[in-house]
Amino acid sequence: MTDAQEIQRRLIELDVEHRDLDAVIEMLTRDGHHDQLQLRRLKKRKLQLKDYITLLKMQLVPDVPA
């Protein structure tokens, strides 16, 4: 497996986790009976995933000489 394929595979995994967290956060918010600390931790994890996804996507873009 090449590095690009490995990055693509990891991107898919992270994207699934990001969407799952989004669904859990929405469900907890809609429910009204949620733990604020848990909700903050979930949102922080979601942002970390988004940053890591962006970093991996940047690695897939070839460098263009100036």
Question: pLDDT for 9-64, tens place per residue?
Answer: 999 999 999 999 999 999 999 988 778 999 999 999 999 999 999 999 999 887 77
pTM of the model: 0.82
Half-sphere exposure of residue 35: CA atoms within 13 angstroms, side-chain side: 4
Distance, in Å, from the CA atom of 29 to the CA atom of 19, rounded to the nearest integer, reads 15
Location of structure tokens 């263009």: 64
